[in-house]
Amino acid sequence: MNIADLRKSYEKAELSESASQADPLKQFDQWLTEAIHSEVPEPNAMTLATVGANLRPSTRVVLIKGYDEQGIVWYTNYQSQKGRELAGNPYAALQFHWVELERVVRIEGLVEKVSAEESDAYFKSRPLDSRIGAWASPQSEVIDSRTVLVTNAAKYGAQFLLQPPRPPHWGGYRLKPDNWQFWQGRKSRLHDRLRYTLQGDGSWLRERLAP
C-alpha cells in the first residue's frame, strides 16, 4: 500500500451562500445537530489548538459542553499543558471534523474561564468516577506508572465518598469566536469553504474562500 495513493471523492453535499445561515452560530448549530442525528462517532469531539510561550503549537481533543452567543465551552484541568498555555496566550482555535458527513468547522477566538458557578454546576452533573478522576490526575505531569492514578483515585474516593467538591484547579473555558470557517467536501477537490469574520459593529462578514 502506498499512502500517497489513498484518496476519497467527496460527493455527499454542498454549501452555498444562499443555503447557509447568515449567523455562523446558527450554521454551526445546524451542522452539529445534523451530525448528532446522523449518529457519527463522537460528534461533540473537537480539536483544541493552543500556543505555548516557546511559540510551538499543540493540539488535543476535548469535548464541547455548551455553546451559545457567548461562545464555545469545554472543561479541563487548569494546570494542564493547555491550561498553562492559555494562561500565557488566551487565543486558541477549535476544529470539528465530521468525517462521515465530509464536513469541517474551524473556530478561532479569545478564550476566558467560565464563572465558578458554571463550573460548579457542570462538575456536579458528572459521573462520580469522573469527579474523583479530576482530583486523581495531575494532568500533563510526569508520573511513575498507572499505579499513581489508581492510588490517587482510591485515596480521594475514600476522602470524599459520594460528594467530591470541584477541585480549585479544574473548571471551564469559553472561546469567544471572531472567525468561523465551514468546509464541505466536494467532487474534484473543488470544496465549498465559507468564512465568517466578526465586524466592529457585531455583524458577520461571510466570504467564500478557494479551497
Q: Which of 186, 189, 193, 208 is catalytic?
A: 189
Sheet strands (E) in the chain: 45-51, 57-63, 66-68, 71-77, 91-98, 103-113, 170-184, 192-198, 204-208
Q: How far apart are CA 74 and CA 50, in angstroms?
A: 14
Nine-digit cell string for 36: 448528532
User: Does 84 qualify as catalytic in the annotation?
Assistant: no
Helix (H, G, I), strand (E, B) or coil at 56: coil
Please, are residues 194 and 206 in contact by the beta-carbon 8 Å criterion? yes
Catalytic residues, by residue number, are 189
